[in-house]
Amino acid sequence: MLKLNKHHIFIIFIILLLVGVMGCAAAYTGTGFSHDKRISDYDSLSLNDILSKYSDTNCKPEAKGLCTHVADGDTITVEGVGKVRLVGVNTPEKGVLGSDASTFFTKKLCLNREVSLDIDDSKHTDKYGRTLAVVIVDGKNLNEMLLKEGLAEIMYMPPSEFYPYDWAGDNTHVASQTSASKNTSSSPTNDAGTYIGNTNSHKFHHPSCKYGVKISEKNKITFSSRDEAINKGYAPCNICNP
């Protein structure tokens, strides 16, 4: 049996210490999004103080349950549903500036309370198996609140039922295209062609247009160029101006 003396124990301790330091240095930072909001900005506010600032959402509850855990600002656990990832938004990762405030805000609104979910009909789950949804608290859209409070950035990942730009405030940060594409690299997208057309309306859109991503598969047609779409009788969308 191997006997360890003080010298061996010291070497093992140094190795473990180095492994820990390297692990922290390589910690996942996501898109790198951060903000300067603080827990103290919300600690003294009541739930009603926060909710009264926002209008009721048009999102429709499709499931509900008790929020039993808040992992961070954009991920919670709901009884009977499991892990839920707030769709269309991204809060700072653990260890990144602002993560504690975003997590505190979500806990204040959700933890140990019943919440409702409007689940993304275009893409129900992410690659980690988490349900993608808008979280509804007393009729208010939590995803929207996080954006307008500056606690989250927009992370739009088509295909999605929801268009988070509609929830944004004046100073809302948007995740870079590079960061978003990395997060969706193993997920299907609507970028099958340069443009997407609707065989019902005979309009065509950019792949990321909020109206383009809502086109049902049976009514969808793709074009490799703008000229191709126009030559086939399709008119450009007035919103995304392809």
> What is residue 149's three-state secondary structure?
coil
Tell me: pLDDT of 154 over 50: yes
- Catalytic residue list contains 226: no
Q: Tens of pLDDT along 53-95? A: 999 999 999 999 999 999 999 999 999 999 999 999 999 999 9
pTM (two decimals): 0.68
* pLDDT exceeds 50 at position 184: no
**Tens-place pLDDT, residues 133-151:** 999 999 999 999 999 999 9
- Which pLDDT value is given to residue 186? 37
Q: Is the peptide bond before 159 cis (omega within 30 degrees of 0)?
A: yes
Q: How many whole angstroms separate alpha carbon 19 and alpha carbon 12? A: 11
Structure tokens at 68: 């039993």
Nearest in space to 187 (alpha carbons), one of 226, 158, 166, 208: 158
Q: Which of 38, 62, 79, 93 is catalytic?
A: 93
Is residue 1 over pLDDT 80? no
- Domain residues of the chain, as ranges? 40-183, 195-236
Matching CATH number, 40-183, of 2.70.50.60, 2.40.50.140, 3.40.50.300, 2.40.50.90: 2.40.50.90
Q: Distance (Å, rounded) from C-alpha 195 to C-alpha 95?
A: 39
Residue from 62, 79, 113, 130 carrying the catalytic annotation = 130
Which one from 38, 62, 85, 149 is the annotated catalytic residue?
85
Reply yes or no on whether the pLDDT at 5 is more than 70: no
- Spatial distance between the Cα atoms of 100 and 107, rounded to a whole number of angstroms: 10
Rounded Cα distance, 49 and 51, in Å: 6
